[in-house]
Chain A
Amino acid sequence: MQVKTGWVAMLAALALVSPAFAGETIHIRIDKLMFDPPKISAHVGDTIEWASSDFVVHTATARNKDWDVTIPAKGVGRVTLKRAGDVAYFCRFHPNMTGEIAVEP
Chain B
Amino acid sequence: MRFVATAAGFALALASVPAPAQNAKPNDAEIAHIAYTAGVIDIKAAQLALQKSKNKEVRDFAQNMVHDHTAVNDQALALVKKLKVTPQDNDTSKALVKQAAAKRAELEKLSGAKFDKAYADNEVAYHKAVDSALETVLIPDATNAELKDLLTTGLKIFQGHEQHAEHVAQSLN
Residues of A within 8 A of B (CB): 32-33, 54-57, 73, 91-97
- Minimum CB–CB distance for A36 against chain B, Å: 13
Contact: B164 with A32, CB < 8 Å?
Answer: no
B80-88, B136-144, B155-163 - the one binding chain A = B155-163
Q: A32-B153, A33-B153 are in contact. Are A93 and B160 (CB under 8 A)?
A: yes
A57 to B161, CA, bound (A): 13
The interface size of chain B toward A, counting residues with CB under 8 Å, comes to 17
Residues of A within 8 A of B153 (CB): 32-33, 54
Interface residue SS majority, chain B: helix
Minimal beta-carbon separation of B169 from chain A (angstroms): 13
Q: How far is the CA of A8 from the CA of B67 in the complex (A)?
A: 55
Question: Is B55 an interface residue, CB under 8 A from the partner?
Answer: no
**A32-B153, A56-B67, A56-B68 are contacts. A96–B160 as well, Cβ < 8 Å?**
yes
CB of B64 closer than 8 Å to a CB of A: yes
Q: Is the CB of A93 within 8 A of B71?
A: no
